[in-house]
Amino acid sequence: MAKVWNAYTESDPYHVSLDGQGDGVYILRLVQDEPMPSELAIAIGEWLYNLRSALDYLMWATAAHVSGQIPPPGEGQLQYPIYDSEAAWTNNLYRLKRLGEHHREMLKTMQPFNSNPDANYLGWINRLARVDRHRHLSDMTAYIAEMGPVIAIPDGCSATLQWGECLVSRGFADVARIVVTPWNPGMEVNVNPRLGIEPEIADWADSPFWKRVRFSERFHMLQIFGAAEVAVYEYDCTGRSRRADALTDDYKAECDARLSDGPSQPVRATRAPVNWTASEDGAPSTSQCFDGAGFPAERPYDVN
C-alpha cells in the first residue's frame, strides 16, 4: 500500500488554489488532478481478505481441537461471528455449537453490539471486507491529515479563517474559507497551504473514532488485534502460542487449568477407500505414443 501511495504522490496529483469570491472572501481548495490508482484499492482488498479469513480459519482450527477431528463436524457452518446486534448473534449461534461454552462466551464479549460499534475492531474489519468482497473495491480518496495554512495579506488588513472539508470528494475539498478586511479589488492575497494528505477509504472516513487515527496506523492496530485474537485461541487449544506475550498471565492460567490432561491432538479423518471403476480391456497403441507423442491432447481453449 505504501509503495503504491508514494509512487502516486510523487507525480504531484493534487494542487491547491485560492479562489476569490469577492468582498474579501477566499476559498482554499485542494484539487485532485489525477485519479487514485486502482492498485491501492486492490492491495487493501487483499489485506482485508486475508485478515478476515484468518479469523474464520481460527474457528475451524478451534472446532478441530474441541472435536479432536480434522475436518471438524459441521465445518460448513463455522465462521468467526461479527454482529452489530444481539438478535443477529442469537440467530447464528448454531454456527458455534461445535465450540466450547467458554469459546462462545469469549466471542460474545468481542462483538460490536457489546461495545462502541464505531470503535470496535471486529466491526470495521467485517464492514470493510464485506464491501470489498461483495460489492466493489474500496472507494479510495484522500484525507487532509495535517494543515497549518499561512496567509499573506497587505499591511493594515486582518483575516479570519473557517475550517471546511478534510475529505476529498468528487475531485476536490474546500479546506478553508478566509475573509480579509478591509478589502478592495486588486488586493494581493497569497497563502502557503502547508497541507499533508494521506489515503483514505471513503466508507471509513466518517468514523468519529478512526478518523483521529492516521491511516497507516489503523492497519497496524487492526493487524495487532488480529494477531492477538489468534494467540487467544491458539493458546486455549494447544497450551502455547507464537504470540503468548500478548496474553495475560490470568488467561494463560485459565487455559492451563482446562488443559490439565494435555491439549487435544486432532486426528485427520481416515482416507476413504478408492472407488474403482469397472474393468476395461486395454487397446493397441504405438511406440510413438509410448514415447509421449500427441500428449497432452490439443484443446480448443489452449493459447499459443
Residue ranges with strand state E in 6-65: 14-22, 25-32
Residue-wise burial string across 172-193, b where 16 or more C-beta atoms lie within 10 A, e elsewhere: ebebbebebeebeeeeebebeb
Q: 173 near 29, Cβ under 8 Å?
A: yes
Give me the tens of pLDDT residue by residue for the chain, a chain 304 residues long.
Answer: 999 999 999 999 999 999 999 999 999 999 999 999 999 999 999 999 999 999 999 999 999 999 999 999 999 999 999 999 999 999 999 999 999 999 999 999 999 999 999 999 999 999 999 999 889 999 999 999 999 999 999 999 999 999 999 999 999 999 999 999 999 988 999 999 999 999 999 999 989 999 889 998 999 999 999 999 999 999 999 999 999 999 999 999 999 999 988 888 899 989 899 999 999 999 999 999 899 888 887 776 666 5
Distance CA 248, CA 232 (A): 10
Q: 1 near 138, Cβ under 8 Å?
A: no
pLDDT in tens, 61-88: 999 999 999 999 999 999 999 999 999 9
Q: For residue 53, what are the CA distances in angstroms to 125, 130, 290?
A: 11, 11, 46
SS3 content of the chain, % helix, strand, coil (to 5): 40, 20, 40
Check whether the bond before 182 is cis (ω within 30° of 0): yes
Beta bridge partners of 112: none
Distance CA 109, CA 103 (A): 10
Query: Angle formed by the axes of helices 215-238 and 121-134, to 10°?
Result: 110
Distance CA 41, CA 38 (A): 5
Residue whose C-alpha cell reads 494463560 in the numeric block: 252
- pLDDT at position 294: 83
Q: 85 near 112, Cβ under 8 Å?
A: no
Residue-wise burial string across 30-53, b where 16 or more C-beta atoms lie within 10 A, e elsewhere: bebeeebbeebbbbbbebbeebbe
Q: Integer distance in angstroms from the first to the last C-alpha of the chain?
A: 35
Q: State the DSSP H helix or E strand holding residue 219, giving kind and residue range, or none if neither.
A: helix 215-238
DSSP class of residue 85 equals S
- pLDDT at position 296: 84
- pLDDT at position 216: 87
